[in-house]
């Protein structure tokens, strides 16, 4: 397991452009928030789809790291999204992830995405991640 600070440092290094912050992590779950500014908006006042997708991807990754510790080679193998409501232009996007499975080689989790403070999710995602084999030789990485 890794602490929230360790995970935040790792995410900042691995995803240097990300505007996602970790709010909570632990107990097979994670909550993250994506800042929203002009770069994240579309005309008409809504959040662009890739912002939602990036938030879900990071939320899942953070929840996995919270259980496994820092495992840099973990890779997203699939992500499915359903977009349900128009996000608000002036609220952060929250991603609330719950892991459904954490196996030896595969993790599966779901993420509900919200405009902060509003009760109904704007989108929902399910993702799977491949976990690299553990090196038990002691050489470490």
Q: Which residues bind its own copies (CB under 8 A)?
A: 13-17, 39, 42-43, 48-50, 53-54, 57, 75-85, 100-101, 103, 105-106, 108, 110, 112, 120-121, 124, 126, 128, 130
CA distance 66 to 58: 12
The nearest distance, CB 71 to its own copies, in angstroms, is 14
- CB nearer to its own copies: pick between 68 and 126: 126
- CB nearer to its own copies: pick between 50 and 117: 50
Q: How do beta strands 75-83 and 93-102 pair?
A: unpaired
């Amino acid at each position: 397991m890794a602490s929230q600070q360790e995970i935040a440092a790792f995410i900042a290094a691995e995803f240097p452009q990300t505007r996602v912050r970790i709010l909570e992590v632990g107990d097979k779950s994670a909550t993250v928030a994506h800042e929203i500014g002009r770069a994240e908006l579309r005309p008409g006042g809504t959040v662009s789809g890739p912002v939602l997708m990036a938030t879900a991807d990071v939320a899942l990754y953070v929840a996995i790291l919270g259980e496994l510790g820092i495992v840099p080679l973990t890779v997203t193998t699939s992500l499915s999204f359903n977009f349900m409501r128009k996000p608000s232009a002036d609220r952060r996007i929250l991603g609330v992830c719950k892991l459904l499975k954490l196996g030896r080689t595969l993790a599966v989790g779901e993420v509900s995405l919200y405009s902060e403070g509003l009760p109904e999710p704007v989108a929902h995602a399910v993702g799977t991640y491949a976990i690299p084999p553990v090196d038990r030789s002691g050489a470490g990485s």
